[in-house]
């Protein structure tokens, strides 16, 4: 990102949709990667509860905690000062009541410096989205495959394949827009449905496994960099193979330590 560029703002997301400019989002969990991603001119960093799977090795996102998300979000904000940072609200930190959602989302913004939160669900969550937005907390919605509902959905599978489910998702998207959401993540939807939802809204959609008709795209950083080599869904494109690069670097380090060539004189102090 140009050092002279002004910081991204939430209204910029709507302006980008209106101008037909695609939004670039990636997950991020720490200051080091946040700094690199900002320099690479990413628009939005998502501190996803996927951190529970990617860094903590859990099978689902369900055991992520609010304190965990605040810790990682604060780390990201220390690394990125110009890019937008949104944070996933963990399971049961917003579904219980709008009052609890306001309190927990407020903590996220106060303690991490993030710009807004993301939450999952459609029409049943519209009142909560409205309550947050009315209190000055920007919200990104999330429809389709909602990982916090993975057990109810029967696994990680494409949603909205039949006509009734598609109509429900369109109605859910409109409800989130009317409630004041500033964007909606669409995950694992047929591309035609995602394009239809995107065309029906004035707020941007950000797809993951939802085709090219969305107004932007998001991927999990470790997946697209090849650091999560066991995860190979159809929608994922790897832009690097850093897993092998890490192994090669560590093998070289280990070999030099074992044969005594590291550290050399140039790495030592008189």
Pick from 124, 140, 126: nearest CA to 185: 140
User: Are 206 and 16 within 8 A, CB to CB?
Assistant: no
For the CA atoms of 94, 96, 98, 100, what is the dihedral angle to 10 degrees?
-70
Cβ–Cβ under 8 Å, residues 137 and 116? yes
Q: What are phi and psi of 101, to 5 degrees?
A: -60, -45
Distances (CA, A) of 176 to 42, 184, 195, 254: 25, 8, 17, 53
The CA distance from 216 to 14, in Å, is 12
- Strands 116-118 and 139-144 turn out to be parallel
Using the structure block, give the residue that is written with the tokens 């004189």: 265
Check 167, 187, 241, 244 and give the catalytic one.
187
Known catalytic membership, residue 187: yes
Element (H, E) at 117: strand 116-118
Q: Degrees (nearest 5) of the Cα angle 33, 14, 157?
A: 65
Catalytic residues: 187
């Amino acid at each position: 990102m140009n050092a002279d560029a002004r910081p991204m703002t939430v209204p910029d997301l709507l302006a980008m949709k209106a101008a037909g400019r695609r939004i670039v989002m990636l997950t991020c969990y720490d200051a080091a990667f946040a700094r690199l991603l900002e320099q690479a001119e990413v628009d939005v960093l998502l501190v996803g509860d996927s951190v529970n799977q990617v860094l903590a090795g859990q099978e689902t996102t369900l055991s992520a905690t609010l304190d965990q998300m605040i810790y990682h979000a604060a780390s990201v904000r220390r690394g990125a000062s110009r890019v937008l940072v949104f944070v996933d609200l963990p399971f049961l930190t917003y579904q219980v009541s709008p009052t609890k959602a306001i309190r927990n989302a407020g903590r996220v913004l106060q303690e991490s410096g993030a710009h807004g939160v993301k939450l999952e669900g459609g029409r049943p969550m519209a009142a909560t989205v409205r309550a947050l937005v009315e209190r000055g907390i920007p919200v990104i919605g999330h429809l389709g495959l909602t990982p916090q509902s993975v057990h109810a959905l029967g696994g990680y599978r494409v949603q909205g394949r039949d006509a009734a489910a598609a109509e429900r998702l369109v109605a859910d998207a409109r409800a989130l827009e009317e409630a004041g959401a500033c964007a909606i993540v669409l995950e694992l939807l047929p591309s035609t449905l995602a394009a239809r939802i995107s065309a029906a809204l004035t707020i941007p959609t950000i797809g993951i496994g939802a085709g090219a008709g969305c107004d932007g795209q998001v991927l999990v950083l470790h997946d697209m960099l090849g650091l999560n080599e066991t995860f190979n869904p159809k929608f994922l494109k790897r832009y690097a193979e850093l897993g092998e690069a890490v192994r090669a670097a560590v093998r070289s380090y280990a070999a030099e330590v074992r044969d005594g060539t590291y550290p050399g004189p140039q790495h030592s102090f008189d």
